[in-house]
Amino acid sequence: MIEWLYLAAQAAALAMSAWFFVETARSQRVGRRHFVGVGVLEAVLLAQLVVGIAMVPGEAGGGKALFFSYLVTALLVPVAAAFWGSIDRSRWGIGTVAASGVVVAALLLRIHQIWEFQIHVG
Amino acid sequence: MSAEPQARAPRSLADGFGRLIVLVYVVFAVSAGARAGYQVATKFGDAPVSFTLSAVAAAIYLVAAVAIIRGAARTALAAVGIELVGVLAVGALSFADPGWFPEPSVWSHFGSGYGYVPLVLPVVGLVYLIKRRRSS
């Protein structure tokens, strides 16, 4: 993992989450600008996946399948949440997508741990 | 409830705040389930109690998610109730007798490995389900 890219992904996930929770408080329906926000997060996560594919197989440690399963899950969760949230008429539509940002942040934390302690060793 | 026509149908359990709850339940069912399945398949003997309890927790998360989506209020209430009892019992047991848990389960130490979400989730779920039942 590239440290600044990991931090950028964390920042993107938490920023999206914070923004969408503000939208929840303002009772906004899920709209086009929110899909753009999800798209930005997805782009950073995709970059993270590309970097992972480039860097992880050459490392000495184990836990590589775990690394990619977490990363792919992190990629899928906001997309699934965006569709699941967009069909809601209440404020909790966007609130659901906001929660997915927290899930991504937690997954990224775990991905980073797997990289630090299991993959990037020796 | 979900079988009724949408226009006049009462708000389903998975609408509004229930939608966020379903997302969290699905995420936990998938992540705890995949992890427990992997642990049971590769190293069940290391911590049989923990891994079995994790698999049970994943199953309960799945039941709760499906019940809320389908509007089965009583099943949802039962699943979330069992979940709360489970996390409290396993959480207490993991402190009282750590020897049973050489590796943590989802509910060990009241879900500390998962940011205590396993403890908060059933409380939030119960409050939501009871409120919805009163209002209907």
Q: What residue spans define the domains of chain A?
A: 3-119
Chain A: give the shortest CA distance to residue B107, in Å: 17
Reference B47, options B113, B110, B95, B94; nearest CA is B94
Count the domains in chain B.
Answer: 1
In a domain, B44, yes or no: yes
Partner B, chain A 82-121, Cβ-Cβ below 8 Å? 84-85, 88-93, 95-96, 99-100, 103, 106
Reference B68, options A4, A92, A74; nearest CA is A92
Tens of pLDDT along A19-39? Answer: 999 999 999 999 999 999 999
Query: At B11, is the pLDDT very low, low, confident or very high (cuts 50, 70, 90)?
Result: confident
Burial B42-63 (b: 16+ CB within 10 A, else e): eeeeebebbbebbbbbbebbbb
Mean pLDDT of A37-42: 98
Distance (Å) of CA A44 to CA A47, A58, A78, B28: 5, 22, 12, 24
Query: At B5, is the pLDDT very low, low, confident or very high (cuts 50, 70, 90)?
Result: very low
Partner B, chain A 34-53, Cβ-Cβ below 8 Å? none
CB atoms within 10 A of CB B90: 25
pLDDT of residue B10: 58
Instruction: Nearest chain B residue to A66 by CA: give it.
Output: B35
| Inter-chain residue contact B23 with A90, CB threshold 8 Å | no
Whether B108 and B50 have beta carbons less than 8 Å apart is answered as: yes
Backbone conformation region of residue B108, classed left if phi is above 0, alpha if psi is from -120 to 50, else beta: beta
In a domain, B34, yes or no: yes
User: Which residue segment(s) compose the domain that B54 sits in?
Assistant: 17-135
| Inter-chain residue contact A99 with B24, CB threshold 8 Å | yes
In a domain, B8, yes or no: no
Q: Best mutation site among B12, B26, B27 for testing chain A: the one with the most A CBs within 10 Å?
A: B27
Global pTM reads 0.91
In a domain, B9, yes or no: no
For B15, which of A81, A90, A103 is closest by C-beta distance?
A90
Whether A108 and A10 have beta carbons less than 8 Å apart is answered as: yes
Mean pLDDT of B41-49: 94
Mean pLDDT of B110-114: 93
Complex prediction ipTM: 0.92
Whether A41 and A12 have beta carbons less than 8 Å apart is answered as: yes
In a domain, B46, yes or no: yes
Mean pLDDT of B57-81: 97
Distance (Å) of CA B120 to CA A88, A110, B29, B114: 24, 20, 15, 11
Phi, psi of A39 (to 5 degrees): -60, -40
